[in-house]
Amino acid sequence: MLSSHIMAAAPVAAQHASSYLPIALQIVFAIGFVALMIFVSALLGPKRKTNDKLANFTSGITTHGNARQPMAIKYFLIAILFVLFDVEVIFFYPYAVNFKSLSWTGFYEILLFVGLFLIGFVYIIKKRALKWED
Amino acid sequence: MNAIILSAIFGIVMMLSSAFVKNTKAYKSIALVGLILLLLANICETYSHAWLNIPTFDMLEFSRFGLYFNTLAIACTILFSAFSQREIERVGRYIGEYFALIFFVLCGIFILSSYNNLLMLFIGIEIMSIPLYILTGARKENLKSNEASLKYFLMGSFSTGILLMGIALVYGGTGDFALVHHGQDISTSIAGAMNKRMSFLDVAGMILILTGMCFKVSAAPFHFWAPDIYDGSPSVFTSFMATIVKAGAFIAFIRLFAIREEETTILENAIIGVDWKMLFSIIIVATLLFGNITAIFQQSVKRMLAYSSIAQAGFMLFSLLSLNDTAKEGLLLYVVAYSVATIGLFGILAKMKDYTLAGYNGMAKSHPTLAFANAIFLLSLSGIPLTIGFFAKYYMLMAVIQTGGYMWVAIVGVIFAVISVFYYFRVIWSMYFKEGTVELKYPVTKGFKILAVVMALIIILLGAFPQVILNFLYF
């Protein structure tokens, strides 16, 4: 009787908060497991500290100076522009998968999208954002 | 659709013209022509001449109310760009870009006035906000401008995150992003059937969305960003942010809750135990209290206007409490009244050397025209009869009284309107009854004076005939 009731309510059940219980359980387990592992390994593992072991390791080269030094703002500009055009490429993946089913409509729309990006590229070039020497 | 696409295109046109047009004087003319074309295109669409019919798959819905709001927003932007064009040119080197960003903000506002899907709400909010973060920090060498920009960016993106979480919870609760379903039988679709059922997830989501939107319109207790950011950013962009953008956020706000009220009944809300009207009345009273009381103690007029914009947001929130036809009409009136007056006040303020109250001393003697216009703007903001501000407040209060049972909110509103008279009149007092010399940072041209007087006349004429604005909503 009860089980048939549940079966009938199954399509509607998706909206109840209780159906998120497995996710909550998984979160609890994930956090608990990681915390336990860190705690137990810190407790059981042997600790032999030497100066060499505590030093920063950067691929064998001895470190010198602080990493937090001011650097040219141009690096950031280039990095940001790279992200912009890199994300553009990511949008091509879903298009490539649906290339045939979208046919010409999809082609025109992706052309519009690339066109807008090209306008941005022209703007960047004209504003000399990629000019390295001043 | 006309307005959304054209505003994006004009934004790109401004961007390219800043790269190719060498003459810096030309930008404002290009922008003004673009804005006027935008206005014409939107009016054409209002009278069913949509040039571009792109299928939006029910993501956008163009109602008369939203389109008419677009018209008002564009008209206010034209007024803004005409009145403070010189100041925009003085902000920095990237004049073309400032206009481009203004066009992009408008694009976001047009989406917000016509969304029918919570995703479009999110996209609209983002398109509206991100250019503003840049405009806030437009004065690059100024530390206060930089600080304001960073604060606005951090807090704005945080509140957008809260809004997005709310949208996710609403989706979890109803299985649907759409506000209204068109063209399909709701009862047969699972999503439609669920839409009618209130769940706790749904309500929790709506409260988070409410939080995010309250931040965008600077309603208490989410108003703390407003004074610092309005004070720090260049005065021209403050006036743009405090008027047109805030109105856009309000349109999104009222659209969401008006449609939601049609979809769900009071009984359903009562089962969950959320009294939205009570929630809104608490927000209104808190906003009016914080805005008005802090505005009294300000010595800088710019900061006073920032706090007064919080207080005015409190009055606009009355429309969200009542959500009836009077409230919608009242919101449109309020947008016009508040925008025109604030654009005028900030336009004159940007010309002055001293932003403090003492800086206004004796303005009536040295600059009688500007003092007259300023006085009219302040009278309208405080809601004195024969100005449009009076009718805006009148419609808001009438809408609340029509709702029934919330008389006390209306009474609190009237009390705070009286308190607001105090700090607005203090400026008029120092302009007319105190001795001193007003020093202007930039010379005032004849055209500027004429435009100031025209704006004052608009306020008085609309105050005499407020129906002029509302008639266009229906005819």
Say whether B16 and A122 touch across the interface (CB within 8 A). yes
Instruction: Assess whether pLDDT exceeds 90 at residue B194.
Output: no
**Which one of B15, B16, B173 has the shortest CB-CB distance to A15?**
B173
The candidate with the shortest Cα–Cα distance to B374, out of B431, B335, B447, is B431
Number of domains in chain B: 1
In angstroms, the separation between the Cα of residue B194 and the nearest Cα of chain A is 8
**Which one of B12, B174, B197 has the shortest CB-CB distance to A119?**
B12
Contact B95, B26 (CB under 8 A): no
Q: Is the dihedral of CA B429, B432, B437, B443 positive or negative?
A: positive
CB-based contact (8 Å) between A131 and chain B? no
pLDDT lower than 70: segments of chain A: 1-16, 57-58, 60, 62-63, 134
- pLDDT class for B185, splitting at 50, 70, 90? very low
Radius of gyration (C-alpha) of chain B in whole angstroms: 22
Q: How many CB atoms sit inside 10 A of residue B440's CB?
A: 15
Distance CA B85, CA B83 (A): 6
CA B195, chain centre distance (Å): 30
CA A55, chain centre distance (Å): 30
State the residue range of the domain holding B465. 284-475
Amino acid at B370: L
Is residue B327 situated within a structural domain? yes
Tokens of residue B188, six digits = 């047969």
The candidate with the shortest Cα–Cα distance to B217, out of B316, B364, B144, is B316
User: Which domains can be identified in chain A, with CATH numbers?
Assistant: 2-126 (1.20.58)
Distance CA A79, CA A101 (A): 35
Which of B53-57, B328-332, B439-443 holds the top average pLDDT? B328-332
Task: State the count of interchain CB pairs (< 8 A) between A and B.
Answer: 27
Contact B368, B444 (CB under 8 A): no
Contact B258, B174 (CB under 8 A): no
**Which one of B20, B174, B200 has the shortest CB-CB distance to A126?**
B20
Q: What is the pLDDT of residue B273?
A: 65
Say whether A17 and B199 touch across the interface (CB within 8 A). yes
Instruction: Assess whether pLDDT exceeds 90 at residue B468.
Output: no
Instruction: Assess whether pLDDT exceeds 90 at residue B136.
Output: yes
Is residue B120 situated within a structural domain? no
Contact B311, B420 (CB under 8 A): yes
Is residue B269 situated within a structural domain? no
Contact B107, B9 (CB under 8 A): no
**Which one of A15, A16, A127 has the shortest CB-CB distance to B19?**
A127
Contact B102, B166 (CB under 8 A): no
Is residue B59 situated within a structural domain? no
Written in H, E and C, the secondary structure of chain A is CHHHHHHHHCCHHHHCHHHHHHHHHHHHHHHHHHHHHHHHHHHHCCCCCCHHHHCCCECCECCCCCCCCCCCHHHHHHHHHHHHHHHHHHCHHHHHHCHHHHHHHHHHHHHHHHHHHHHHHHHHHHCCCCCCCC
| Complex ipTM | 0.77
Is residue B464 situated within a structural domain? yes
Give, in degrees to the nearest 5, the angle at Cα A13 between A7 and A17. 145
Chain A residues whose CB is inside 8 A of the B190 CB are 11
Q: What is the pLDDT of residue A73?
A: 76
What's the rounded mean pLDDT across residues B6-22?
91
Contact B382, B420 (CB under 8 A): yes
- pLDDT class for B170, splitting at 50, 70, 90? confident
CA distances from A88 to A107, A111, B11, B106, B374 (A): 15, 12, 20, 24, 49
Is residue B202 situated within a structural domain? no
Q: What is the pLDDT of residue B395?
A: 93
Chain B residues whose CB is inside 8 A of the A16 CB are 199
Is residue B408 situated within a structural domain? yes
Q: How many CB atoms sit inside 10 A of residue B473's CB?
A: 18
Q: What is the pLDDT of residue A3?
A: 42
Is residue B278 situated within a structural domain? no
Distance CA B59, CA B52 (A): 16
Q: What is the pLDDT of residue A2?
A: 41
